[in-house]
Amino acid sequence: MIQWIFILLSFTLIVWLGKILIVDREEIVASDYNPLTEEKMAEVSRGAILSADGKYLAYTDVAEDGSEIRRYPYGPAAAHVVGYIGRGQSGLEAILSGVLMEPSTLISQLQSWASEEKVQGCSVQTTLNIDLQSYIYDQLDGFQGAVVVSEPSTGKILALVSNPSFDPEAIVDDWEVIINDERGPLYARATMGLYPPGSTFKIITALAMYRNMPDWKLYSYECGGELLVDEQVIMCNDHRAHGYMEIEDAFAYSCNGFFGKAGIDMGWAALVGTASYVKLGNDFDFILDQNTSEMHLSETDVDSMVAQTAMGQGETLVTPFAMNMLTAAIANDGVLYQPYLVQAVTDAKGGVLRSVEPTIWGTVMTRPEADFLENLMRGVTEYGTASRLSDYPYEVYGKTGTAQVGEEEDSHSWFTGYTVKDGKVDIVITILVENGAETKQAVPLADAILSHFYGLQ
């Protein structure tokens, strides 16, 4: 019996050791307090981070005296994605630290031992279209905002821009300046920024109507420029009276009264139910840190609150990234591909060691639902609030938004939409410009970005 007790104890030890080495290992190795990370850095030359077309986004430059400097050729343009090292770590530099410090092959390990040189760590190829990313970053100059561009048919993230940004190479020298900057340059607005969705939320309200009102086709509203609920006035943009509206036109012209009224008629549960149906509050298992979108609406809320929420104000907050995912699902007939930013791990010479294949994350809506929304979004770009995008050689679908943030401040400007090229869904683009409703509107910005992307300038 005593033997068995100690045999049991010994096997507990063995199992526990195995557990540490298998389950806990990754977390412990990546700990900020791990002194061995620095030791490793002395032995392994950190691998590079590359764009989709193989341009360096980050690489280690070895000076003549053997000292190493981490270079970021595109500087602030991709800073929130690539991240930095030196003052802690962030972005892909932090998340992929283990991979970047991993000797790419046993052969290279042996070679470096033989030649007493540093081992070359693995490189990482991202899905970023760095040309597009830099262009967008330049376009956002002077404004605060975020742009997300993705490929819905695969889940690739082509651009993920947040402005203001910082220079990762100067992170150590300018640390004080950067963290004291009130605009928050370290804040990755594209994935972390929570904004009121404005009229882009009408996508969800419209879907809620489709799902909850059997006679949504017949639903109409006479817009006089404002809607009075609970003695509160909900105004249409610029107080414009849209007149008699059915859902297509109401969506295209973004009539607040129509959707506010529809929201009240459907009730809070339909809105909350649909938002959760399209997985609004999800993090989509994306590699970068992100805030999850939130929506607060309950039985106790008064009608005016329901109306406000239905037209995109209220207490709803979404990230540009989540809005992009919703749009991607519509573009792809309801099927959302797992968004990914890293497509391959390569050795120093570019030989692929591991690669990522597109996988389906989940079905967010049914095909008829996606078709229904696509039809509405077509109206927006053909004759509605984004008619500026109507004369493209490719089909463009979208929804604009103007999110009020206070009495004094200018509203945020939203655009989310996608293009179809030669009958196939091409890219999804989501734009948010903070306080840009008057000065830097999202639609002209989308126009510029799409023109650049398709080489139409």
Partner 1 sequence: MFQMTALVAKYVDLALILLFTGMGYYMYLKKPSSIVCKELFAYQTAIIILFNILSFVLIILREYHTAKTVEEAIESGILSEGTHFQTIRGIMLKMQQITEHFLPSWLRFSVVFTLLIYLVLLLGMYLLIHKLHRHTNRLLWNCVFMLMSIGFIVLWRLDQETARYQVYWLAAGFVVINVVMLFFHGRWIWNIPVWLFLLGSVGLIVLPFIFPNEAYGSLNWVYIKGLSFQPSEFVKILFAFFLAVIYTKNRKLYSVLVAGAVTGFMALVLLVQRDLGTLLIFGILAWMMTYDYVGKGYVLWGGLILVAVAGYAAYHLFEHVQVRFDIWLDPWEDVNGQGYQIAQSLFAITDGGFFGTGLFQGSPGYIPARTTDMIFAVIVEEFGGVFAIFVLLIYLLMFLFVMETGRRERNQFRRNLLVAFGILFMTQTFIIVGGVIKLIPLTGVTLPFISYGGSSLLSSFITIGIIEAVIRLYRIDREEARKHARQQAPARPGRGKGSIRPFEFDDPF
- Interface residues with partner 1 (CB under 8 A)? 1-3, 5-7, 9-10, 12-14, 16-18, 20-21, 24-25, 28-29, 31, 33-36, 39, 110, 113-114
Q: Given the complex with partner 1, which of 16 and 244 has the nearer CB atom?
A: 16
| Eight-class DSSP state of 3 | H
The values of phi and psi at residue 248, to 5°, are -60, -50
- Indicate the residue among 39 and 285 with the shorter CB distance to partner 1: 39
Burial 62-85 (b: 16+ CB within 10 A, else e): eeeeeeeebebebbbbbbbbbbbb
Dihedral angle of Cα 180, 184, 187, 190, to the nearest 10 degrees: -170
Among 361, 352, 346, smallest CA distance to 287 is for 361
4 vs 455, beta carbon nearer partner 1: 4
C-alpha distances out from residue 84 to 71, 169, 200, 268, Å: 10, 8, 33, 44
Q: Is 185 helix (H, G, I), strand (E, B) or coil?
A: coil
Which residue, 40 or 71, has its beta carbon nearer to partner 1?
40
Which residue's CB is nearer to partner 1, number 18 or number 224?
18
Q: Which residues contact 34 (CB under 8 A, 6 or more apart)?
A: 28
Shortest spacing between CB 19 and partner 1, in angstroms? 9
Angle at 242 between CA 236 and CA 247, to 5 degrees: 95
298/204 Cα distance (integer angstroms):
17
Nearest C-alpha neighbor of 431 from the set 82, 129, 195, 183: 195
Closer CB to partner 1, residue 63 or residue 114? Answer: 114
What is each CA distance from 279 to 82, 193, 199, 292, 335, in whole angstroms?
Answer: 27, 18, 18, 10, 12
Provide, rounded to whole angstroms, the least separation between the CB of residue 192 and partner 1. 24
Helices (H), 31-105: 36-43, 79-82, 91-95, 97-100
State which residue, 17 or 177, has the beta carbon closest to partner 1. 17
Pick between residue 29 and residue 170 the one whose CB is nearest to partner 1: 29
Question: What are φ and ψ of residue 111, in 5° steps?
Answer: -60, -45
Q: Which is nearer to partner 1, 112 or 338 (CB)?
A: 112
Q: Nearest approach, Cβ of 77 to partner 1 (angstroms)?
A: 36
Measure Cα distances from 109 to 114, 116, 121, 335 in Å: 9, 10, 9, 43
Closest separation between CB of residue 30 and partner 1, Å? 10
By C-beta, is 38 or 407 nearer to partner 1? 38
b/e map 303-341, b = 16+ CB within 10 Å = bbbbbbbbbbbbebbbbbbbbbbbbbbbbbbbbbbbbbb
Nearer to partner 1, 97 or 304 (CB): 97
Task: Determine the Cα–Cα distance for residues 93 and 268; give it in Å rounded to an integer.
Answer: 43
Give the DSSP H or E segment for 235.
strand 232-235
Shortest distance, CB of residue 2 to partner 1, whole angstroms? 6
Measured from the CB of residue 60, what is the shortest distance to partner 1 in angstroms? 21
Helix (H) or strand (E) segment spanning residue 232? strand 232-235
Q: How far is CA 245 from the centre of its chain?
A: 33
Give least dist CB 349 to partner 1, A.
22
Closest distance of CB 31 from partner 1, Å: 7
Q: How far is the CB of 112 from partner 1 (least distance, A)?
A: 9
Shortest CB 20 distance to partner 1, Å: 6
Q: How far is the CB of 211 from partner 1 (least distance, A)?
A: 46
C-alpha gyration radius of the chain: 25
